[in-house]
Amino acid sequence: MSVKAILNEKGRQVVTVDPQAKVRQVVVLLHENHIGAVIIVKPGDRIAGILTERDVVAAMAKFGADCLDKPVSSVMWSKVHCCTEDMTIDDIMEIMNNMRSRHLPVEKNGRLVGIVSIGDAVRHHIRAIEHEAEQIKAYIAG
């Protein structure tokens, strides 16, 4: 299964913020949307960075509560690992494993078009394994 198929199923909506948004605003977005990451975008849906729950915790440890009033650009990851729609689940699972990342923005022609999480990858990987097991059972019974 491809990243495109995952996005077609789950949707392409991504919670994004401007680089000047305050960390406090992002914390509220993470909570309200039940998500673990937001993508920071520049004009034209160009990816500028990513801010995750882990990054907020790290900022709190480093700066204390004052980090909540900092712009996200001061605590985000600007070297974002992305994927493309034509990648497979195995491709993105390898990237996530190697980079110790739980979220990958999906990029097309330099623009943000979606996001996949480790949960999306695992869910679809399990579904593929279950489908394969059903086919094997049918073949054996066949």
Side chain identity at 17, as an amino acid letter? V
Rg, the chain, Cα only: 18
CB 73 within 8 A of CB 48: yes
What pLDDT was estimated at residue 98?
Answer: 94
Mean residue pLDDT of the chain comes to 92
Superfamily of domain 3-141: CBS-domain (3.10.580.10)
Domains of the chain by residue range: 3-141
Handedness of CA 47, 26, 5, 95 (dihedral sign): positive
Q: Tens digits of per-residue pLDDT, 36-54?
A: 999 999 988 899 999 999 9
Whole-model pTM?
Answer: 0.86
> Do the Cβ atoms of 89 and 125 come closer than 8 Å?
yes
Q: Are 110 and 41 in contact (CB under 8 A)?
A: no
- Which of the four pLDDT bands, split at 50, 70 and 90, describes residue 13? very high
pLDDT tens, position by position, 73-85: 999 999 999 999 9
> What's 74's DSSP letter?
G
Paired strand residues for 41: 47
Helices (H), 11-142: 23-33, 53-63, 89-99, 118-141
